[in-house]
Amino acid sequence: MPASRLSILVIMLTAVMLLGCTQPSGTAQGVVTSVEGSLEEVTAFTVLVDGSELRFEPVDGGEYAFPLSHLREHQRTGEPVFVDWELIGTVRYALSLADG
């Protein structure tokens, strides 16, 4: 096999392995970098965790220690949050949320 084809094969296999290692759930602590939605209704928010931005969507009945609109205050002050989440398909759902 020529070197260029081998290089492409190695890159493709590495990408497949990394995609297969995606965690299905976890806990994250970080700083809120963006909040999507209206002032009263948050539809999604992004948290900077260990140098990576993770986007979360809220769930009905989630265990949130404060109203989701309070995330804008966290974004403004830089105070971290804790998020327990679950990955379903390509969406990370925030199951619980608390001051961090």
**Distance, CA of 76 to CA of 6 (rounded, Å):** 48
Give the count of beta carbons closer than 10 Å to the beta carbon of residue 89: 6
pLDDT above 90: percentage of residues in the chain: 74
pTM of the predicted model as reported, rounded to 2 decimal places: 0.77
Architecture of domain 24-99: Beta Barrel (2.40)
* Contact (Cβ atoms closer than 8 angstroms) between residue 94 and residue 83: yes
- In this structure, the strands spanning 25-37 and 81-88 are antiparallel
Both tokens assigned to 15: 């990408």
Give the count of beta carbons closer than 10 Å to the beta carbon of residue 16: 10
* Contact (Cβ atoms closer than 8 angstroms) between residue 89 and residue 75: no
Task: Express each pLDDT in 53-97 by its tens digit.
Answer: 999 999 999 999 999 999 999 999 999 999 999 999 999 999 999
Q: What are the domain boundaries of the chain? A: 24-99
Q: How far is CA 11 from the centre of its chain?
A: 25
Both tokens assigned to 66: 């404060």
